[in-house]
Amino acid sequence: MPDTPSLADIAATARVVSLPMATRFRGVTVREALLFEGPQGWSEFSPFAEYDDDEASVWLRAAIDFAWMPQPAARRDEIPVNATVPAVAADEVPVVLARFDGCRTAKVKVAERGQSLADDVTRVAAVRRALGPEGRVRLDANGGWNVDEAEHAIRALEPYDLEYVEQPCARVDELADIRARMHDLDVPIAADESVRKAEDPLAVARAGAADILVVKAAPLGGLSRALEVVAAAGLPAVVSSALDTSVGLGMGLALAAALPELDYDCGLGTSSLFLADVTAQPLRPEGGVIAVRRVQPDAALLARHEASDDRRDWWMSRLARCHALIAG
């Protein structure tokens, strides 16, 4: 990236928003994000609150790049997306899926802390019933199982015809182990945290520990870096979001549009999990796809969903610390 814009340049347009969610997701009921505008348009800085400044600064680098620099050329103008089913009770599944218009693929959260494998089985069964035999069901454990737990769980859930299982275990060596144990089942293993939170995002590919990469633009430092990782890994990729507003989802859509190949539906329909957004035309699936475009926030919605003064101060302080790290 060329010279980093000054903190003052970023802060001049910075707005901090707080958006309510329809369903608790990863323990989050309200999603906060810092938005700002650059020469190329609006961008989003929204690493989760628990991330330290070193990790969050990578997200800021990506946000600045998207706001200040031209992006790689798009190869497609719409992206097929999946529904995302949080760790809800089975009877809530139809309500969640109804928010994702036309989506025939569903990513189902499993291995939620405080829940059991029986909870996962009933949830996945409900998703399969709702989608029917032609729908695609993928799981996301967020590294919540050890290898033995993962093997037991995948074998229990495999009868529901799984497209793949995302991050069943936390470590790369564990992913390699569970992938080897699954040799008798046709259940691919996808890596997410082992890519976006790793010092070396290519380690998982070199270790033969995954069949698919799940990539997010912001945690990898922007579109160009994410494209480099996918190319070097030599594995099919799924582009996903991190509970972004529609501004941030625009970055994910741009990444998915720029990939040379896109064999899987992407996890970019998560605006459907929100009760509000920063635009009157949020990036939500229609007929199972989302058109590739950047979002211009609505001034009235920015004002309506503006975060409290103390939360704005918290985010602006975080912005300043992370900016110092990348500028230095």
Do 284 and 303 belong together in one domain?
Answer: no
Do 88 and 109 belong together in one domain?
Answer: yes
Q: What percent of the chain has pLDDT over 70?
A: 99
Q: Report yes or no on 2 lying in a domain.
A: no
Of the residues 123, 216, 318, 323, only one is catalytic, namely 216
192 marked among binding-site residues: yes
Do 11 and 110 belong together in one domain?
Answer: no
pLDDT at 2: 54
Do 64 and 82 belong together in one domain?
Answer: no
Do 17 and 124 belong together in one domain?
Answer: no
Whether 216 is catalytic is yes
Do 66 and 85 belong together in one domain?
Answer: no
Q: Report yes or no on 37 lying in a domain.
A: yes
140 marked among binding-site residues: yes
Dihedral Cα 166, 168, 169, 173, nearest 10 deg:
-70
Whether 109 is catalytic is yes
What global pTM score does this model have? 0.96
Q: Which residues pair with 79 in a beta bridge?
A: 290
Q: The domain containing residue 317 runs over which residues? A: 7-71+299-327
List pLDDT tens digits, range 68-126. Answer: 999 999 999 999 999 999 999 999 999 999 999 999 999 999 999 999 999 999 999 99
Q: Report yes or no on 1 lying in a domain.
A: no
151 marked among binding-site residues: no
The helix-helix angle for 223-233 and 53-68 (nearest 10°) equals 110
Provide the domain count of the chain.
2
CATH (domain of 313) = 3.30.390.10
pLDDT tier at 23, thresholds 50, 70, 90: confident
Q: Report yes or no on 50 lying in a domain.
A: yes
CATH (domain of 135) = 3.20.20.120
pLDDT tier at 289, thresholds 50, 70, 90: very high
Do 194 and 113 belong together in one domain?
Answer: yes
Give Cα 266 distance to the centre of its chain.
9
The C-alpha angle 209, 214, 215, rounded to 5 degrees, equals 125
The arithmetic mean of pLDDT across residues 209-216, rounded, is: 97
The C-alpha angle 28, 255, 234, rounded to 5 degrees, equals 105
Do 95 and 231 belong together in one domain?
Answer: yes
Of the residues 99, 107, 109, 196, only one is catalytic, namely 109
